[in-house]
């Protein structure tokens, strides 16, 4: 899955759509009824646009008199172009400005363009309704209400642009950010990705889908820590310890022998760190297997609409993710301790290790002793 186009806040859209359509119809009916005394040009368009923007302002959460005033000013500015004999352009400008107000910085351009297109459609639809033979015998306010409803419908379509959003896929983004993986870690990550892909049919925000997403993201995070943990050759440390044992056994100088002993102790510390990280890595891989298997079982229970099994598997999945996260943190701590412990203990030869471990007093004594 990649970035998807989502429609958000359905209740607000439904409320605004109904209020916009009713406001446009009412405004067009009133303007058509008063067209003669007021001398209005294209009364259905004027009333429809003003009524649509007024209905939108009423339906929005957090009604604002200032926002309503701005929209009416935008309608007036756009409809002033009616004097030029271009009703389509007048309505396009009015709706573009009116709908852009309150749309937010990220959406203002898209909503403005959608409003302009809706204005062109509204002008065309209104003219068709008012000029149709079927509406010729109707009372002027009723015909105007029908034309206003067409304006409201076009405005409603433009309102959809305020509820469309690009929803990036967090799992896809996390997958792309992973370092190169190999072996079991890569296989498990791919299985986790496949589990997430299997939830595509579930709606955004669904609890089951969110649980799978959290589990797969946790799996990816642990795999990244696993890849970042340094791999140390334990066999090399064992060979160096054996070499130092041989040197200690054959060393006749007490000072040199003491240095070899200290170097060996440092290598034993290295071996302990390596064993600790190795055990942590093994536990991590085992828990990753458990987490993936639990998520797969949970997905199957959801697919079969088995609520009882899904609830049970969801609890198991949450527990598996919790333990997996703790092991991942433990791996990071062990790897950090290993890095600290190995930072000054990685001499390329036993002689360099013994020199690095020598204390100033012992170094001075060794320098003062006669060469043999």
The tens digit of pLDDT for each residue in 230-250 reads 666 678 888 888 999 899 988
User: What pLDDT score was predicted for residue 334?
Assistant: 46
Q: Are residues 191 and 324 in the same domain?
A: yes
Q: Report the distance separating Cα 180 and Cα 200, nearest Å.
A: 26
pLDDT at residue 96 is higher than 70: yes
Examine the pLDDT at 125 and tell me if it is beyond 80.
Answer: yes
Q: What is the mean pLDDT of the chain?
A: 76
* pLDDT for res 11: 84
At which of 115, 143, 166 does a domain end? 166
107 and 135: one domain?
yes
pLDDT for the residue numbered 215: 82
| pLDDT(68) > 60 | yes
pLDDT band at residue 259, thresholds of 50, 70 and 90? very high
Q: What are phi and psi of 164, to 5 degrees?
A: -90, 135
- Mean pLDDT check: name the lowest of 154-168, 199-213, 272-286: 199-213
Alpha carbon distance 147, 178 (integer Å): 57
In the predicted structure, residue 320 carries a pLDDT above the cut 70: no
Domain end position, chosen among 121, 147, 166: 166
The answer to whether residues 119 and 34 belong to one domain is: yes
Strand-pair partners of 167: 4
Mean pLDDT, rounded, for 13-26: 88
The arithmetic mean of pLDDT across residues 260-286, rounded, is 84
- Tally of domains in the chain: 2
Residue 4 β-bridge partners: 167
* 156 and 196 belong to one structural domain: no
Looking at the structure, do residues 139 and 210 belong to the same domain, yes or no? no
Cα distance between residue 306 and residue 300, in whole Å:
9
Taking 60 as the threshold, does the pLDDT of residue 353 lie above it?
A: no
* Residues 100 and 177 placed together within one structural domain of the fold: no
**What is the extent of the structural domain holding 38?**
4-166
Residues 117 and 240 in one domain: no
Domain co-membership, 79 together with 185? no
Query: Where a domain ends, among 166, 181, 198?
Result: 166
Residue 269 phi/psi, 5-degree rounding, is -60, -45
* pTM of the entire predicted model: 0.52
pLDDT value, residue 355: 37
Query: Is residue 150 domain-shared with residue 106, that is, in the same domain?
Result: yes
pLDDT digits (tens, 9 = 90+) for 298-317: 777 666 655 555 566 566 66
Residues 240 and 297 in one domain: yes
Of 114, 116, 122, 139, give the one whose Cα is nearest residue 47. 122
Helix (H) or strand (E) holding 258: helix 254-303
Which residues, 6 or more positions from 67, have their beta carbon under 8 angstroms from its beta carbon? 57, 60, 101, 102
Question: Are 47 and 111 members of one domain?
Answer: yes
Residue pair 245/296 in contact (Cβ under 8 Å)? The answer is no
Per DSSP, the three-state class of 6 is strand
User: Do 349 and 205 belong together in one domain?
Assistant: yes
């Amino acid at each position: 899955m990649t970035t998807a186009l989502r429609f958000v806040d359905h209740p607000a859209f439904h409320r605004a759509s109904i209020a916009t359509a009713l406001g446009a119809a009412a405004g067009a009916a009133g303007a058509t009824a008063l067209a003669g005394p007021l001398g209005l040009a294209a009364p259905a368009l004027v009333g429809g646009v003003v009524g649509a923007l007024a209905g939108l302002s009423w339906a929005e959460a957090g009604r604002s008199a200032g926002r309503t005033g701005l929209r009416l000013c935008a309608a007036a500015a756009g409809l002033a172009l009616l004097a030029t004999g271009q009703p389509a352009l007048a309505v396009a400008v009015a709706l573009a400005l009116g709908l852009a107000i309150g749309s937010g910085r990220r959406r203002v351009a898209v909503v403005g363009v959608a409003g302009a297109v809706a204005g062109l459609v509204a002008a065309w639809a209104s003219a068709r309704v008012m000029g149709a033979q079927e509406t010729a015998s109707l009372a002027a306010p009723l015909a105007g209400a029908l034309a206003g409803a067409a304006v409201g419908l076009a405005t409603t379509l433009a309102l959809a642009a305020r509820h469309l959003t690009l929803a990036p896929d967090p799992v896809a983004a996390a997958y792309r950010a992973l370092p190169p993986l190999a072996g079991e870690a890569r296989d498990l990550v791919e299985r986790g990705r496949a589990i997430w892909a299997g939830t595509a049919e579930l709606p955004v925000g669904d609890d089951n889908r969110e649980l799978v997403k959290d589990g797969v993201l946790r799996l990816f995070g642990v795999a990244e820590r696993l890849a970042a943990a340094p791999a140390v050759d334990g066999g090399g440390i064992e060979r160096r310890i054996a070499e130092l044992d041989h040197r200690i056994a054959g060393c006749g100088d007490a000072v040199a022998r003491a240095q070899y002993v200290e170097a060996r102790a440092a290598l034993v510390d290295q071996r302990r760190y390596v064993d600790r990280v190795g055990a942590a890595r093994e536990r991590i891989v085992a828990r990753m297997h458990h987490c993936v298997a639990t998520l797969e079982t949970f997905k199957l229970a959801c697919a079969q609409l088995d609520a009882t099994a899904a609830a049970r598997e969801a609890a198991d999945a949450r527990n598996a993710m919790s333990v997996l996260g703790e092991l991942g943190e433990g791996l990071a701590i062990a790897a950090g301790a290993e890095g600290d412990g190995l930072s000054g203990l990685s001499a390329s030869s036993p002689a360099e290790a013994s020199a690095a471990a020598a204390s100033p007093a012992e170094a001075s004594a060794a320098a003062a002793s006669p060469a043999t």
